[in-house]
Amino acid sequence: MRILLCSHFFYPSVGGIEHVSQTLATQFSLAGHSVKVVTTTPESDGTVFLFEIIRRPSPLHLLKLVHWAEVIFHNNVSLRVYWPLVLVRRPWVVAHHTWIARPNGSIGFQDRLKQFMVRFARNIAVSKPIADHLRVPAVVIGNPYRDDLFRRDPLAVRNRDLIFLGRLVRDKGADILLDALRLLREQNFLPDLTIAGSGPELRSLQLMVEKFQLTEQVVFVGTQTGPALIELLNRHRIIVVPSRWQEPFGMVVLEGIACGCRAIAARCGGLEEAAGGLAVLFEHENHVALACAIKRALSEEFDWEKYWQSSEKLLRPRTARAVAERYLDFLTRAVRESVPRNR
């Protein structure tokens, strides 16, 4: 099968959609399919992939690529690269990784146009909340986590309590977590917290730590990646995901669980679905509820071996290969059920 995968952002850009696009393109290639990736991300650092990457193609080149393909796959709908499908009929598949809306939740003209256009696509949603948000039928296929990287170290000593992992922006809710620790401190309950990440809210969070007298409990370690991040996660008992934003999926929950952590997550968006019933959930944007969840999770007797067995069952269908196989089944059906013209 000849697959044209369109991803607005791609390597060397870093982010969730970039990771998923690269993972799927790699797995499709390993499965024997011919894959080409179209992206607007500028030239890379020379890294070689199993597939061809076409960066910012000209209109004529893009039209030729659509002619070449048997199926067009958009990882998030892109109007910029849709137009050749008006001229060349090919099955069109869109995977929706986020809400079709502005960052503040409002609906603009471009969003309305996207909502209209995806009526003509076969649609995949990364979570049930995203599927419910769409105005068209969609099959739910959760995102893959990096099973080649995120894994539990059975020899690790979990000598730290809580870890927050993510960009330090208001949407991620690190301040809600610090408010919860302030409340627990007033109850003389003093869990330690590692904040791994960077972003524009760093200084304000540091000031909160000082104001709440949490300096002996909270440590900022900056952005962590690769083996250092895995080692760090394996030292912690609980990963806390206090997002304000309605997370479309919640990959960080899976990454924490894969490294053996329990998860405490806000009851919003796709976080509950990503955790597969293994997370302790608390009321969205409620630091009192979060404080209660932390205290309960750290105080109760807990069967870690049983939890890790359950987490293995959760993670098995979320590996790169397993998720890619579901995508390939969907793409194959799209090709089979279509009657392309202009061949």
Chunk the chain into consecutive blocks of 10 residues (it has 343) and report each block's average pLDDT, rounded to whole numbers: 96 89 97 97 87 96 97 95 94 96 84 92 97 95 95 97 96 97 98 97 98 98 95 98 95 96 96 94 97 97 97 96 98 86 46
- Whose structure tokens read 């791994």? 196
- DSSP notation for 88-126: S---EEEEE-S-SS-TTS---HHHHHHHHHGGGSEEEES
pLDDT at 339: 61
Q: How far is CA 32 from CA 27, 121, 221, in A?
A: 9, 25, 42
**Residue ranges per structural domain of the chain:** 2-144+320-337, 160-316
- Class level of CATH domain 2-144+320-337: alpha beta
Distance, CA of 306 to CA of 310 (rounded, Å):
6
Q: Do 252 and 143 form a contact (C-beta atoms < 8 A)?
A: no
Whether 145 and 317 have beta carbons less than 8 Å apart is answered as no
Pairing of strands 34-39, 280-282: unpaired
Check residue 43 and give its pLDDT. Answer: 79
Residue 166 · residue 194 · CB < 8 Å: no
Say how far residue 140 (Cα) sits from the centre of its chain: 14
- So what's the pLDDT on residue 161? 98
Looking up tokens 């060397």 gives: 12
Res 343: pLDDT: 43
- What CA–CA distance (Å, rounded) separates 27 from 35? 10
Q: For residue 56, what is the DSSP state?
A: S
What order do you get walking across the sheet with 71-75 strand by strand? 52-55, 34-39, 2-6, 71-75, 92-96, 122-125, 139-140
Would you call 285 helix, strand, or coil by DSSP? coil
CATH of domain 160-316: 3.40.50.2000
Is there a shared CATH topology between the 2-144+320-337 domain and the 160-316 domain?
yes
